[in-house]
Structure 1
Amino acid sequence: MSITGKLFGRGDPEGREGPGTDTTVSRQAVSLAQQGRFGEAIGCFDRVLEEDPTNVKMWNNKGVFLDLIGRDQDALVCWERALSIDPGFAPAWVSRGMLHRRRNRFEEALACYDRALELNPDSAVAWYNRSGIFVAMHRLDDAVACYERVLSIDPHFVAAWTDLGYAHFLRHRHEEAVTCYDRAIADDPGSVRVWSLKGGALYALGEYRKALECFDRVLAIDPKYAAGWSMKCSVLYHLGMYRHALACADKALEINPGCELTTQVRKMLLSLIQKW
């Protein structure tokens, strides 16, 4: 999840934006963090909190940034402060859950998400993060149920469609996976990840021509995506187009020379071509 996706809280009244609004301050902080200037990013929240020490969203977001730089205890203090001001502020529990998730403390993370959902049962973000825990615990049925709950709340939650598709893929329900990826693509047609996953599901179904179309789309979006060239190489191999597959393998290795699997595939292709 992006830095922006980690920021939660109540929006500014009527979508208002200006130099002092929570939204603007958070965007400034994100911009600084993306430049590696986390100290300055946290300073954005501190300046707001000096004037408005009861701003729970700023306490939450400051905690998120402290978590990102590994200052766990300081982050937890921020979330505790937010909850002491507003015990019903569910985003603070979501943020705590994300910290535990990154430390592979799954039960602690689930407890946080459950608390967030007690406070706000219609939080798509909390349901989505909860589903990720179940995937990590290999409880795919529970994960699928959570993703479906997310999408009942927000049918345009692209990440949920994508991850629901992958959960179906892991359960070998490839056609259902493709359907989910199509829903994600409808809202985000430029996603390399979703097109790649759709191509992988079609490949597993033996739909090589359709898979090839997906990987071509991937490479049209990002021609330097080495995995895209490798996947296209695999599809062309299954279609018996060995010389074209070899060209894709060469392109993949030009971008990522260290890929051992592609190197092995290239050797196999050379052997096949030489036998002709």
Structure 2
Amino acid sequence: MDARQFIAELKSRGVYRVAALYCAGAWALLQVADVFSPMLGLPDNAVTLVLLATAIGFPVALLLAWRFDLTARGVVAAPPTVTPSRRMNLPLPFVLELLLILALTLSVGYLYLDRLTPGQVAEGGRAGGVQQGRPSVAVMPFLNMSSGEDMDYLGDGLAEEILNLLSRLSELNVAARTASFYFRDKDVDLRDIAERLGVGHVLEGSVRRDGSHVRVTAQLVETASGFQVWSAAYDRDMGGLLALQEDIARSVVESLQVVLSEQSSQLLTREYEIEAVSYDYYLHGRDYLRKQMDESNLSAAVSFFRRALEVSTDFADAWAGLCDGLLKQYEINRRSADFLEGESACQRALELDKEAVSVYIALGNLYRVSGKYGRALDAFNNALSLNPAAVDAYRGRGNTFAAMNQPSQVESDLTTAVELQPNFWGAYNDLAAYYFESGQFERAIPLLQRVASLNPDSETAWNNLGSAFYMIGEPGQAAQAWERSVAQAPTAISLSNLGGSLFFAGKIHEAADKYEQAVQLAPENFEYWGYLGETLQLIPGRRNEAQSALERAIDLGNSRLAINPNDALARAMVASYLARLGRAAEAVRLLDDSLESGERSMYELYDRAVAFTVLGRMGEAVSALESAVELGYPVALLSLDRNFADLRREPRFATLVRGTDPLPAAATFKEIGNGKYP
């Protein structure tokens, strides 16, 4: 059959009409699927599945059209083959009809074939659970146009709340706050920002406040073209800012032509009864939580959240903020009262808003710190089900897996957090902390260097970097980092670490002075009291002070264990304090309990060795140190350690440290990895 006869057969059997009808029907079906799949809550690949089905059905329809005809009598075999004339002229309508069929086929393929390309990520697609093929946007800090610099909190807070609202919409991909806020006050082109954040649109704006009156401008820019998609200006009083957030979020959604599900639509139509002054206090509190996590900033944040709740008692976000602030205070100072009040605040926030991602994250961290790992994982999973790009949920879940000693899950979650927030120091810090605490110092150092470059004003960042350098035997680089840390701020951690360096250098009086300063800054941290007591025992005439410090350390340590009985490190440390006070039976009981817990870290094993040494059980002390070294504790540090002076007569200990060059007595900290990383 030649080409002319084949074309004649196509026309005779109606194949081209079937092709045209099929393409038109497929086009309509795909349009309907594209519009209604988000509204019906179908998975993001629903349209792709429809496209695959129609693509598979196309050749089947053509084959059936070739073989059968649909007549009034039903489906019958196609008529016999036609014999074309020697010169067959194709009529113009037929040619146009054939071209229309080809055009329809090509247009469907062009517009939808990209959905079938493996691994292709549409605008804003990222790893870690972020949905692909959805519009993406980054929300930048709103510029402060008010007369005072102290008004920056207003623009930052408004932008953050809009970002949080948009990130709860499952139909959008939204860059994390810490990633977009990294570019605050930086002279970077919007296109560069969009490329680095992997988004197609950027929302920016400004805020000007005059008394209770606020003027807000906002604009949405398509970064590929640089054109403004939408802009608006609003004049509101402070009490109207909550509703304004929803107005701006709705405008962004409409401009991006996003069809929202019913659940997402409800998030943009909530009614608020929050007093203006309460909301202002809330924004102040959030501003302090965005700062470096030191005691003064956290205290200010908690104070502002309390004031917000005094005015508006049912303000769920303020309860969540109070929970965050109190929990972070507890992690620094170990005050049981902060933990208990934080737990109550979290529960109250959850009662008021069961869809708040921030509340589940705060609850997850609270359960993690208290050793309730199963409940912590449930809370973080709830947060991720509401927002698959919730970086803090990945961080919290990863840290929970670390506490549960599940390395593969730790690296998976924390690496995802780093990928989602490539310009946020906190995600790098968590991963570095995991490597540090598991003795993988070489892997921690580049991450800590990244932390220091992203957060150069953080004393903790430089302190941690110095600790890592020291643990790999680079005291010169360690000293430089520590000096920079102390220059930033003399925190309780940095003072304690300086005390450790002086202790190992044999400068006992100076070490005691640093520990006393650390205790003044963090009077409910049992570890600092313990270090102080251990040091004072070596100073003639201060034995009574040493006993009081160790008793205080025991009381505070027991409070910690009441909150988290699974804290094996705390058990080992408290056991060493009890041993120093001659309370051997209590010390042994705690050491036995620690064995039953099944948790092992080189730091816990170190403190077990200290306790066994004080108890005179030298064989068990050396065994604990051998295990600590196997987990990564540097052997060179042991020969400097005054706590093991009595072990140096033990042959196994001598064998353990033989052939090592003691590091210069610059500093070494057994508390590394326990509360070191914010």
TM-score with structure 1 setting the length: 0.70
1:69 to partner: Cα distance: 4.2
Alignment partner of 1:140 out of 437, 441, 465: 441
**Aligned ranges 1:78-89 → 2 under 5 Å:** 78-89=379-390
1:111 to partner: Cα distance: 1.0
SS of 1:138's equivalent in the other structure is coil
Aligned to 2:392: 91
Mapped pair 1:117 → 2:117:
no
1:28 to partner: Cα distance: 4.7
SS of 1:256's equivalent in the other structure is helix
Conservation of the 8 A alpha-carbon contact between 2:324 and 2:362: no
Alignment partner of 2:158 out of 5, 8, 13: 13
Conservation of the 8 A alpha-carbon contact between 1:199 and 1:215: yes
Query: What is the CA deviation profile of residues 74-125 of structure 1, one whole-angstrom value per residue up to 9, with x for unaligned ones?
Result: 4333323322332222111001011111112222111110011111112211
TM-score with structure 2 setting the length: 0.31
Q: Which moved more, 1:85-94 or 1:18-27?
A: 18-27
1:135 to partner: Cα distance: 1.5
**Aligned ranges 1:1-276 → 2 under 5 Å:** 12-13=157-158, 16-17=283-284, 18-19=308-309, 20=315, 22=317, 25-28=320-323, 31=326, 34=338, 36-37=340-341, 40-50=344-354, 53=355, 55-191=356-492, 193-202=493-502, 204=504, 206=505, 212-222=509-519, 225-228=529-532, 230-231=534-535, 245-249=539-543, 251-256=545-550, 258-260=578-580
Q: Kindly report the root-mean-square deviation, in angstroms, between the aligned alpha carbons of the 2 structures.
A: 3.5
- The 3 A distance-change label for structure 1 pair 61 and 219 is closer
SS of 1:185's equivalent in the other structure is helix
Query: What is the CA deviation profile of residues 165-223 of structure 1, one whole-angstrom value per residue up to 9, with x for unaligned ones?
Result: 222222233333333223222333141x322322433555x5x56x7545423324537
Greater helix content: 1
The amino acid across from 1:25 in the alignment is A
- The 3 A distance-change label for structure 1 pair 23 and 150 is farther
2-structure distance, mates of 1:202, 1:71: 37
Conservation of the 8 A alpha-carbon contact between 2:495 and 2:517: no
Conservation of the 8 A alpha-carbon contact between 2:533 and 2:548: no
Query: What is the CA deviation profile of residues 215-243 of structure 1, one whole-angstrom value per residue up to 9, with x for unaligned ones?
Result: 42332453793523544676xxxxxxxxx
Q: What are the ranges of 5 or more consecutive residues in structure 2 without an aligned counterpart? A: 1-140, 142-155, 161-282, 285-307, 310-314, 328-336, 524-528, 552-577, 581-612, 617-641, 646-678
- The 3 A distance-change label for structure 1 pair 262 and 251 is farther
- The 3 A distance-change label for structure 1 pair 112 and 79 is same
The amino acid across from 1:118 in the alignment is E
- The 3 A distance-change label for structure 1 pair 256 and 180 is same
Conservation of the 8 A alpha-carbon contact between 2:395 and 2:427: yes
SS of 2:439's equivalent in the other structure is coil
Larger radius of gyration: 2
Aligned to 1:242: none
SS of 2:541's equivalent in the other structure is helix
2-structure distance, mates of 1:76, 1:101: 12
2-structure distance, mates of 1:91, 1:230: 37
2-structure distance, mates of 1:44, 1:27: 10
Q: What are the ranges of 5 or more consecutive residues in structure 1 without an aligned counterpart? A: 1-9, 235-244, 269-276
Aligned to 2:648: none
SS of 1:246's equivalent in the other structure is coil
2-structure distance, mates of 1:119, 1:29: 22
- The 3 A distance-change label for structure 1 pair 189 and 213 is same
- The 3 A distance-change label for structure 1 pair 71 and 124 is same
1-structure distance, mates of 2:515, 2:369: 30
1-structure distance, mates of 2:468, 2:406: 21
The amino acid across from 2:457 in the alignment is H
- The 3 A distance-change label for structure 1 pair 182 and 88 is same
Query: What is the CA deviation profile of residues 52-93 of structure 1, one whole-angstrom value per residue up to 9, with x for unaligned ones?
Result: x2x322232232233344443443333233223322221110
Number of equivalent positions: 240
The amino acid across from 2:158 in the alignment is P
1-structure distance, mates of 2:342, 2:499: 37
Aligned to 2:56: none
